[in-house]
Amino acid sequence: MMDDYTLPFWIYLVVLSVFVGGAMKKILASHLTTAPPLVAWLGLACCLYSAVRTRTSPATLPVRGKAVFVTGCDSGFGKATAKQLDAMGFEVFATVLDLSADGARDLQRTCSTHLTLLQVDITQPQQVQQALLDTKAKLGPRGLWGLVNNAGVCVNFGDAELSLMSNYRGCMEVNFFGTLSITKSFLPLLRQARGRIVTISSPAGDQPFPCLAAYGASKAALNLFTDTLRHELEPWGVHVSTILPSSYKTGQASNHTYWEQQHKQLLQSLAPALLEDYGEDYMTETKELFQSHARQANPDLSPVIHTIVQALLSPQPQARYFAGPGIGLMYFIHRYFPFSLSNRFLQKLFMKKKLMPRALRKQSGFDLNLGLHNNNNNTDNAEEEKLKQL
């Protein structure tokens, strides 16, 4: 017998097929010259999807008696999640890097006694193990219902060739190895409760965002690990979900001083020949574009927090959640459009660079001068031929 929400979902599929079919027909008929109408059609289809899924979702599971461990609660998604879960009645274990910092003090001041603050750097195995022992002591014989892997970092920015090896290692150490360490350590408690793992990742782990190679590579490794874990934990009754947010103001995103320091460090660390090839003005433009993108990011974190709660309490959580406007459309274009078009869409959406690297600018100027010189020579030769004929 079908569930009450199955029939409307199939109706949604039929309606979505009509929209997508019409969009593809427009593509073929106009040879990709109707981009704005196409985006409007797909946007409407995504909105219809969200509305139907929200309406047809089954009732959520009860909160009572459930404990959740959340990493990276100093600020951003982690801090907001810890507050929301505490307000809902969860027993919350929230990790911070510094118990005396503003974020930790705010959680202590505003949350109930059911929230436990733990000072944990997820890249330090001893601190992870101590957090596990502290959590076990509080839980007693109970298992852990949820693990929210939120802690992450975006170290530096810039072209892949310009990114320092320390940047690649820094991103991998936190975003991948740190999350891996936490997850492996707490899995016995999660299996005991047949609970949930919710990991905050990024579209940069699936799509080639310009100037985010170090960050994107670490998130790509995290995505693959999470997808593999989902299959392996299914027999244990543990559900694994990945959340892919759009652009939000979190962490150091709006910290002007932080980005200036990162930029200065990069300039000082690059080999002189590499700095000459790219040019300081090229790298400065990249920094300014990142800062502009950060200023335009959404300060309202509620769509992501709501999605985390949904993944923790839904009887049948999704494998992947798109949290925020435009993410579903971005993935649709990435998956179904030709690479040349999806790549161009991504570049226009994220980094609208105007400058080329200095060496390419010089080369372009040389080619232009050479072309003008050749044209002048051709004109002179043509004049000589005419004179000979006379």
Is 83 within the bounds of a domain? yes
Burial of 295 (0-12, 13-18, 19+ CB in 10 A): exposed
pLDDT in tens, 326-382: 888 888 888 888 888 887 777 777 777 888 999 999 887 755 454 545 555 555 555
In degrees to the nearest 10, what's the CA dihedral of 383, 388, 389, 390? 90
Is 11 within the bounds of a domain? no
Task: Tell me what pLDDT residue 380 has.
Answer: 53
pLDDT in tens, 23-66: 555 544 544 444 445 544 555 555 455 444 544 455 889 999 99
pTM: 0.79
**The one catalytic residue among 12, 49, 168, 215:** 215
Find all residues with CB under 8 Å of 147, minimum gap 6, and list them: 68, 69, 182, 183, 186, 190, 195, 196, 197, 198
Is 17 within the bounds of a domain? no
Is 356 within the bounds of a domain? no
CA distance 346 to 352: 10
Q: Is 258 a catalytic residue?
A: no
Find all residues with CB under 8 Å of 101, minimum gap 6, and list them: 74
Is 280 within the bounds of a domain? yes
Is 350 within the bounds of a domain? no
Handedness of CA 116, 117, 119, 121 (dihedral sign): positive
Burial of 128 (0-12, 13-18, 19+ CB in 10 A): buried
CA distance 203 to 216: 8
Helix (H, G, I), strand (E, B) or coil at 298: strand
CA distance 163 to 167: 6
CATH number at residue 147: 3.40.50.720
CA distance 369 to 387: 27
CA distance 176 to 182: 10
CA distance 295 to 289: 10
Helix (H, G, I), strand (E, B) or coil at 128: helix
Task: Tell me what pLDDT residue 294 has.
Answer: 78
Helix (H, G, I), strand (E, B) or coil at 119: strand
Is 32 within the bounds of a domain? no
pLDDT in tens, 92-148: 999 999 999 999 999 999 999 999 999 999 999 999 999 999 999 999 999 999 999
Judged against a pLDDT cut of 70, whether residue 301 lies above it is answered with yes
Paired tokens of 157: 């920015």
Paired tokens of 142: 């109970």
With vertex at residue 115, the alpha carbon angle to CA 109 and CA 117, rounded to the nearest 5 degrees, is 80
Find all residues with CB under 8 Å of 251, minimum gap 6, and list them: 75, 76, 153, 154
Task: Tell me what pLDDT residue 5 has.
Answer: 34
Handedness of CA 116, 240, 242, 176 (dihedral sign): positive
- For residues 265 and 40, the model is more confident at 265
Confidence of residue 265 (pLDDT cuts 50, 70, 90): confident
For the chain, the domain total comes to: 1
Of 254, 362, 327, nearest to 46 by C-alpha is: 327
Task: Assess contact for 174 and 152: CB atoms under 8 A.
Answer: yes
Paired tokens of 57: 């979702």
Parent domain of 262:
63-324
Spell out a b/e string for 182-200, using b for 16 or more CB atoms within 10 Å of the CB, else e: bbebbbebbebbebbbbbb
Of 354, 209, 189, 385, nearest to 281 by C-alpha is: 354
Is 368 within the bounds of a domain? no
